[in-house]
Amino acid sequence: MRGLLVLTVAGGSVAHATLTPMVSVRGVTPDLPLIMVILLALRRGPEFGCLAGFVTGLLQDTAGGGLIGVQALTKAIIGFGIGVAGERLRVSQPLVQVPGLVVLTILEGLARFALLQIFRFPAPFGELMMYVVLPQALFNGFVGAAVVLSLAASQVLRERFQGQPS
Amino acid sequence: MKIQKLLLLVSLVGVCLLLLTLQTRGYGSAAGDLLTMVTAPVQTGLARASRATFGLWATYLDWKNVRAENHRLREEVQDLRVRALRVSDTDVENQRLRRLLGLQEKLPLTTLSGEIIGREWGGWIRSLTVNRGRGDNIPRLSAVLSPDGLVGRIVDVRPGASIVQVLTDPASTVGAHVLRTRTPGIVEGDPRGTLRFKFMARDGASIQNGDVLVTAGQGGLFPRGIPIGTVRAIDNRGAALFHYAELTPAVDYARVDEVLLVTGDTQRDLTAFFPADG
């Protein structure tokens, strides 16, 4: 199971750089690793979320060719924070998860921008927010909703099969 | 337990900050190279797999599109063929009717056009049914013409239709002469469905294959000069009183669809209104 999770995290991050351009809409792509980290953190807790965020972010940084460590840092913090929040708050409802995903994407974008500023990597804030972060947040919300609903449906099916007498 | 979690977070954040600091100071390329060495093969494999998958999908979509297009084009071709046939049929009919109308307009006779609605093509009787009958005041024994020549005569007038005895009917006889030599004789129908010209031996010495025969116009039944057929073969019976010539009919009776029925005066020479070669 752990091996599968590691493979999911590592493969998913690399796949993001390779495959997401194929699902881009008007140049906007979803941040699949972020969605994956958030959903895994909610189910597995802050440690796993933090590690998963670090690994996926690091791999994204490497695959993307930017400053290595930016996304690793932001995603590790988000994975940890969501893991902690998932333990203390009721965030299992899709109505909470999907808007949360949108908000977290925006927060991650802001954190990335701040880190780039700190490490003197120039980036225009307004344009980044308008054309990259906000559209990606909406896209993530849409994809996240689909993933959350699919997971809920699979959960229902699994319970139904398990409840049937053999 | 909480401290462990926080330690993990802090250490990972520390690693990230260290990496970022090293990079901004120009020492980060080695770490980047190392990570790339790990991720590049995975990326290559994924890219190939995705290309293959999407390529396969694209091929499938192309095939599906080509198949659908092929089906559509086949239907279109079928439709166009049917349309072309209709157009061609209409065109042929139009030409036929134009010829008939042209003849009707130029003939110095009172005529009525009619459409063939039935054919009796057995060996005993060869007749056509025209959609003109008693209500159209068609006289019995009226001559029936087509733009190519004489078809026959009306032998029976019924309500709404008339029966035309075709020249090839075994009972049909028409007075005729050879257009070139004026050799007189009688054109008779033949049970085989052909025409033959019966003429007196002493008159027909100079008849040749290809000579055109037209109606003689004697007896007042048929107007003079309507083409009947062309001499195909001459049956010379030696010392017999009558000789015979086999004719190729001027009209293809089996295919004629529209005709003119002569309803008025028939005492006119119509030679000039038909093609000289029959």
Q: Which residues of A touch B4 (CB under 8 A)?
A: 47
Residue type, B235: D
Each residue's pLDDT tens digit, B53-108: 778 888 899 999 999 999 999 999 999 999 999 998 888 888 888 888 888 888 88
Question: For residues A7 and A40, is the Cβ–Cβ distance under 8 A?
Answer: no
Put simply, the answer to whether A119 touches B19 (Cβ < 8 Å) is: no
User: Which two three-digit tokens encode residue A131?
Assistant: 């054309």
Mutate to test the interface with B, among A60, A61, A82, A108 (most CBs of B within 10 A): A61
Cross-chain CB nearest to B19 (options A46, A68, A120):
A68
> According to the model, what pLDDT value does residue A12 have?
65
H runs (alpha helix) in chain A: 2-19, 32-44, 46-64, 70-88, 94-118, 125-127, 134-163
- Quick check: A60 pLDDT over 80? no
Put simply, the answer to whether B5 touches A50 (Cβ < 8 Å) is: yes
> According to the model, what pLDDT value does residue A17 have?
59
Put simply, the answer to whether A119 touches B39 (Cβ < 8 Å) is: no
* Helix, strand or coil, per DSSP, at residue B260: strand
- B114: Cβ contacts below 8 Å, ≥ 6 apart: B130, B131, B132, B144, B162, B258, B259, B260, B261
Put simply, the answer to whether A73 touches B43 (Cβ < 8 Å) is: no
Whole-prediction pTM value?
0.48
Put simply, whether B5 touches A (Cβ < 8 Å) is yes
Q: Which residues of A touch B23 (CB under 8 A)?
A: 67-69, 119
Question: For residues B116 and B128, is the Cβ–Cβ distance under 8 A?
Answer: yes
Each residue's pLDDT tens digit, B184-236: 999 998 877 789 999 887 777 788 899 999 999 887 788 899 999 999 998 88
End-to-end CA distance of chain B: 119
Put simply, the answer to whether B20 touches A68 (Cβ < 8 Å) is: yes
Mutate to test the interface with A, among B4, B6, B12, B43 (most CBs of A within 10 A): B12
Q: Which residues of B touch A111 (CB under 8 A)?
A: none
**Cα dist. B149→B179, B188, B214, B228, B242 in Å?**
14, 16, 9, 6, 25
- Quick check: B30 pLDDT over 60? yes
Put simply, the answer to whether A15 touches B46 (Cβ < 8 Å) is: yes
User: Which two three-digit tokens encode residue B216?
Assistant: 């003689």
Alpha-carbon distance of A13 to A132, in angstroms, equals 19
Alpha-carbon distance of A32 to A47, in angstroms, equals 20
> According to the model, what pLDDT value does residue A42 have?
82
Alpha-carbon distance of A62 to A73, in angstroms, equals 13
> According to the model, what pLDDT value does residue B121 have?
73
Put simply, the answer to whether A68 touches B46 (Cβ < 8 Å) is: no
* Helix, strand or coil, per DSSP, at residue B30: helix
ipTM > 0.85, yes or no: no
E strand residue ranges, chain B: 111-120, 127-130, 143-146, 149-158, 161-166, 173-178, 184-189, 195-200, 212-215, 227-235, 242-249, 258-262
Question: For residues A19 and B50, is the Cβ–Cβ distance under 8 A?
Answer: yes
Alpha-carbon distance of B116 to B105, in angstroms, equals 20
> According to the model, what pLDDT value does residue B41 have?
76
Alpha-carbon distance of B149 to B260, in angstroms, equals 10
Helix (H) or strand (E) holding B84: helix B29-106
